């Protein structure tokens, strides 16, 4: 990105303090992460970004996007706007129009990050491609992602998150995608949306900003989407998963249109994510052989079924960024089908399930038993109060250990004492449980 303060003024209709020719080459809303040349965006939330302007300037910020009503030092180059979040979004739309990449927008209750990574890997074989870093997928992260893309970007792959009605409408209208994808409808956010049907309705908001004639991709096995009224004219379906899938801890293999595909991760459920990525690639002119090559070596965002080695030599599958019942059952089924021996499970609470939380946690029992673990470690009140007794009801001899969230150091210590090079440990929970702390303690990563 290379803009001037005059560009920022034009994009936001703000008022300039300082010289119009001041250059900005990046954007940051966290004063601790400011790089020289950045435009520091003083967002107002739990903390007021205006309190950190001097820190940002000391770290090399070249200018500030500030809100009306705040006193600025006279020597700070700035553009002043009514609302800095809205100003950030307006600036991202301005830059998006300058670069004019094809935009692929991806959402879903589960799998959106993996699908984003797969899609970007495929498209990078032919185009200058930029993707959402980490989980920068909300009303702040999305415009920051747009403003972070290089000026030569040809395809921009955006992940879009959602935790309330209307949010995807805002994000879709901001990004104006050429292609929009919904990976799946799960139980995430039942606390707020009450039913899967409501979740589907909110996910469908991703079509609100879809360009005229743009492609909309949905899973063929989800009637809440395939039977939804008013779908875009150019709607296509991906899946179902082929019958010839073979899977192991390190890769999943299948054949499509005569081409062998292998992805470096476990789980037939990830084949559906790959199917969506492949359809995006085909739409943008990639051939099957090239896409197979891309998927064989794609980079997976950290803590999404990431395979690591622990300090005691144990194999670790870290899937601790997010969790919902459907996704948890799917990966447990994969472990069961793989016949994983010496399996140790660490399962933390699945959050935002509302009044259905107790029954959905207890409902994991059959999938846990089918995986034949030698030990189950449960973290959080929902796992401890509902899954633990459900497991005991099925198998009184199963070794179960329970922990509350503030006992993660003890959990890590207990695991390190017992784990050996013969063990496979699988960890999954909602991000709010912070099982990544246990993963780091075991692996050093």
Say how far apart CA 382 and CA 159 lie, in whole Å: 29
Same domain, 284 and 312: no
Q: Is residue 354 part of a domain?
A: yes
Q: Is residue 112 part of a domain?
A: yes
DSSP assignment, residue 3? E
User: For 420-425, what is the mean pLDDT?
Assistant: 94
Query: Which two structure tokens, joined as six digits, stand for 37?
Result: 């040349």
Phi and psi of 235, rounded to 5°?
-110, 130
Q: Is the pLDDT of residue 411 over 70?
A: yes
Same domain, 266 and 138: yes
Q: Is residue 93 part of a domain?
A: no
Q: Domain with 239 in it: what CATH number?
A: 3.40.1190.10
Closest CA to 52 of 70, 37, 69, 68: 70
- Round the average pLDDT of the chain to a whole number and report it: 94
Same domain, 284 and 328: no
Q: Is residue 11 part of a domain?
A: yes
What does the pLDDT look like over 321-378, one tens digit per residue? 888 898 899 889 888 877 667 999 999 999 989 999 999 999 999 999 999 999 999 9
Domain boundary among 252, 277, 296: 296
Say how far apart CA 241 and CA 404 lie, in whole Å: 37
Q: Is the pLDDT of residue 186 over 90?
A: no
Banded pLDDT at 135 (limits 50, 70, 90): confident
Same domain, 217 and 344: no
Q: Which domain holds residue 434?
A: 306-443
Same domain, 124 and 47: no
Sole residue written with tokens 């491609």: 129
Q: Is residue 301 part of a domain?
A: no
What does the pLDDT look like over 23-77, one tens digit per residue? 999 999 999 999 999 999 999 988 999 999 999 999 999 999 999 999 888 889 9
Q: Domain with 33 in it: what CATH number?
A: 3.40.1390.10
Q: Is the pLDDT of residue 380 over 90?
A: yes
**3-class secondary structure per residue, 357-398:** HHHHHHCCHHHHHHCCCCEEEEECHHHHHHHHHHHHHHCCCC
pLDDT value at residue 74: 83
What does the pLDDT look like over 118-134, one tens digit per residue? 999 999 999 999 999 98
Closest CA to 189 of 372, 354, 387: 354
DSSP assignment, residue 44? B
Same domain, 139 and 249: yes
What does the pLDDT look like over 249-293, one tens digit per residue? 889 999 998 999 999 988 888 999 999 999 999 999 999 999 999
Q: Is the pLDDT of residue 3 over 90?
A: yes
Binding residues for ATP: 108-114
Domain boundary among 277, 296, 315: 296
Q: Is residue 88 part of a domain?
A: no
pLDDT value at residue 339: 64
Q: Domain with 383 in it: what CATH number?
A: 3.90.190.20
Is the separation of the CB atoms in 39 and 5 below 8 Å?
no
What does the pLDDT look like over 381-407, one tens digit per residue? 999 999 999 999 999 999 999 999 999
Which residues, other chains included, contact 185 with Cβ-Cβ below 8 Å and sequence gap of 6+?
A: 108, 109, 196, 199, 200, 203, 222, 224, 225
Same domain, 108 and 200: yes
Distances (CA, A) of 88 to 9, 30, 92, 162: 11, 13, 6, 19
Say how far apart CA 113 and CA 299 lie, in whole Å: 11
Banded pLDDT at 181 (limits 50, 70, 90): very high
Domain boundary among 296, 326, 357: 296
Percent of the chain with pLDDT over 70: 99
**Farthest-apart Cα atoms in the chain, separation:** 74
DSSP assignment, residue 12? H
Is the separation of the CB atoms in 210 and 180 below 8 Å?
yes
Say how far apart CA 18 and CA 74 lie, in whole Å: 8
Say how far apart CA 315 and CA 413 lie, in whole Å: 17
Same domain, 280 and 346: no
pLDDT value at residue 306: 86
Q: Is the pLDDT of residue 168 over 70?
A: yes
Same domain, 263 and 377: no
Same domain, 292 and 310: no
Angle at 401 between CA 111 and CA 354, to 5 degrees: 45
Q: Is residue 375 part of a domain?
A: yes
Is the separation of the CB atoms in 154 and 127 below 8 Å?
yes
Binding residues: 108-114
Same domain, 62 and 167: no
Angle at 386 between CA 381 and CA 392, to 5 degrees: 125
Q: Where are the beta strands (DSSP E) in 30-128?
A: 38-41, 63-67, 78-81, 102-107
Angle at 1 between CA 6 and CA 3, to 5 degrees: 10
Number of folded domains that form the chain: 3
User: For 422-426, what is the mean pLDDT?
Assistant: 95
Q: Is the pLDDT of residue 102 over 70?
A: yes
Say how far apart CA 105 and CA 112 lie, in whole Å: 10
pLDDT value at residue 240: 87
Q: Which sign, positive or negative, has the C-alpha torsion 228, 161, 431, 133?
A: positive
Same domain, 105 and 76: no
pLDDT value at residue 187: 84
User: For 239-256, what is the mean pLDDT?
Assistant: 90
Q: Is residue 122 part of a domain?
A: yes
């Amino acid at each position: 990105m290379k803009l001037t303060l005059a560009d920022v003024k034009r994009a936001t209709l703000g008022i300039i303090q300082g010289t119009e020719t001041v250059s900005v080459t990046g954007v940051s809303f966290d004063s601790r992460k400011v790089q020289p040349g950045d435009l520091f965006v003083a967002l107002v939330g739990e903390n007021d970004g205006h309190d950190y302007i001097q820190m940002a300037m000391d770290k090399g910020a070249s200018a500030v996007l500030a809100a009306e009503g705040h006193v600025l030092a006279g020597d700070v180059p700035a553009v002043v706007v009514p609302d800095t979040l809205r100003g950030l979004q307006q600036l991202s739309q301005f830059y998006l129009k300058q670069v004019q990449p094809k935009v692929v927008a991806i959402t879903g209750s589960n799998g959106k990050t993996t699908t984003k990574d797969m899609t970007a890997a495929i498209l990078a074989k032919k185009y200058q491609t930029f993707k959402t870093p980490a989980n920068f997928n909300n009303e702040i992260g999305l415009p920051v992602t747009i403003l972070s893309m290089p000026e030569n970007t040809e395809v921009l792959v955006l992940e879009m998150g959602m935790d309330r009605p209307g949010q995807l409408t805002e994000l879709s209208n901001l990004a104006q995608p050429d292609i929009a994808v919904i990976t799946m409808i799960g139980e995430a956010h039942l606390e707020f949306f009450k039913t899967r049907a409501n979740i589907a309705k909110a996910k469908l908001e991703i079509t609100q900003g879809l360009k005229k004639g743009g492609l909309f991709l949905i899973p063929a096995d989800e009637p809440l989407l395939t039977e939804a009224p008013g779908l875009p004219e150019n709607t296509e379906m991906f899946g179902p998963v082929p019958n010839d899938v073979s899977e192991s801890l390190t890769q999943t293999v299948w054949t499509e249109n005569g081409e062998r595909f292998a992805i470096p991760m476990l789980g037939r459920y990830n084949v559906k994510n790959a199917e969506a990525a492949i359809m995006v690639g085909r739409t943008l002119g990639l051939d099957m052989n090239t896409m197979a090559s891309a998927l064989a070596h794609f980079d997976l965002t950290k803590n999404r079924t990431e395979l690591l080695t622990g300090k005691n030599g144990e194999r670790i599958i870290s899937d601790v960024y997010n969790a919902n019942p459907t996704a948890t059952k799917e990966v447990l089924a994969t472990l069961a089908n793989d016949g994983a021996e010496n399996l140790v499970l660490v399962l933390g609470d699945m959050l935002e399930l509302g009044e259905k939380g107790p029954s959905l946690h207890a409902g994991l029992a059959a999938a846990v038993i089918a995986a034949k673990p030698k030990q189950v470690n449960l973290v959080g009140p929902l796992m401890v109060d509902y899954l633990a007794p459900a497991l005991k009801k099925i198998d009184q001899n199963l070794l179960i250990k329970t922990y509350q969230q503030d006992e993660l150091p003890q959990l890590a210590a207990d695991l390190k004492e017992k784990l050996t090079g013969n063990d496979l440990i699988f960890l999954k929970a909602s991000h709010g449980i912070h099982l990544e702390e246990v993963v780091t303690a075991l692996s050093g990563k």
